[in-house]
């Protein structure tokens, strides 16, 4: 079975997209136009009934959910050294993956996808306002946690860094603040991550340069 990744440009699927490029594995990038609801076609839903990206096709099975895909790829390709082997570094890496998917991403979704959370359109503005505020709180938390750190899980770059870059881009894309002034530690870390050739390759492939220009 061909290895393939269904991704939406700039979406959370960018994290596994970066990881596939870091590993250097042969894969097919399958661009999915979320605005045109390509993730809701009968063919797509037959593959992933959740109607979301990312989807990884690899080793004869279909895998969804960013933390699962990142952990799978990290373990599957140990030579790439993208998942710490154990102890506190592995625990920290998994701690970040859980925080990103359970807290950071849903807060932003309240801003961008209020229809997921209420059928009452009158409730959207307040929900979006709170979602954005919660998301910005998360960005502040990430900034403080990255102070004095080379990478998220310790001294070595890992799958957690690929995931955290997604939210850096989303925060920068809000155009509400100067990231370097408001979030100096997150920005210093982002500069290290953005210097990686695999990361630049994915940004070019997805066409998201505007969000990652500092």
Ligand X SMILES: N[C@@H](CCC(=O)N[C@@H](CS)C(=O)NCC(=O)O)C(=O)O
Residues in touch with ligand X (CB under 6 A)? 8, 11-12, 34, 39, 51-54, 64-66, 101, 113
Between 119 and 155, whose beta carbon lies closer to ligand X? 119
The region, left, alpha or beta by phi > 0 then psi within -120 to 50, assigned to residue 162 is alpha
Taking the complex as a whole, the smallest distance from the CB of residue 37 to ligand X amounts, in Å, to 7
Please give the Cα distance from 21 to 25 (Å, whole number).
7
Sheet with 61-64: list strands edge to edge.
28-31, 4-7, 55-58, 61-64
Identity of the residue, 113 or 192, whose beta carbon is nearer to ligand X in the bound complex: 113
Half-sphere exposure of 195 (CA within 13 A, CB side): 7
Whose Cβ is closer to ligand X: residue 63's or residue 156's?
A: 63
Taking a C-beta distance cutoff of 8 angstroms, is the pair 145, 164 a contact?
no
Closest approach, Cβ 116 to ligand X, in A, equals 7
Q: How far is the CB of 114 from ligand X (least distance, A)?
A: 11
The minimum distance between CB 3 and ligand X, in angstroms, equals 17
Q: How far is the CB of 128 from ligand X (least distance, A)?
A: 15
Compare residues 11 and 139 and give the one whose CB is closer to ligand X: 11
Output the CA torsion sign for 175, 177, 180, 183.
negative
Q: For the CB of residue 101, give the shortest distance to ligand X in the complex, in Å.
A: 5
How long, in residues, is the chain?
214
Nearer to ligand X, 11 or 19 (CB): 11
């Amino acid at each position: 079975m061909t290895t393939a990744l269904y991704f939406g440009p700039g979406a959370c699927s960018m994290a596994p997209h970066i990881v596939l490029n870091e590993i250097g594995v042969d894969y097919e990038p399958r661009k999915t136009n979320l605005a045109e609801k390509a993730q809701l076609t009968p063919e797509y839903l037959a593959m992933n009934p959740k109607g979301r990206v990312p989807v990884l096709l690899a080793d004869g099975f279909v895998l969804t959910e960013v933390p699962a895909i990142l952990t799978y790829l990290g373990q599957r390709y140990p030579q790439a050294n993208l998942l710490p082997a154990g102890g506190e570094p592995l625990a920290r890496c998994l701690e970040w993956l859980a925080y990103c998917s359970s807290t950071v991403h849903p807060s932003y979704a309240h801003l961008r996808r209020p229809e997921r959370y209420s059928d009452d359109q009158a409730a959207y503005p307040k929900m979006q306002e709170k979602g954005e505020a919660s998301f910005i709180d998360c960005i502040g938390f990430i900034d403080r946690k990255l102070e004095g750190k080379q990478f998220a899980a310790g001294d070595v770059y890992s799958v957690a860094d690929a995931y955290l870059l997604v939210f850096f881009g989303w925060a920068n894309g809000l155009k509400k603040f100067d990231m370097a002034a408001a979030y100096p530690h997150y920005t210093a870390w982002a500069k290290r991550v953005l210097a990686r050739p695999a990361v630049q390759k994915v940004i070019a492939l997805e066409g998201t340069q505007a969000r990652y220009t500092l």
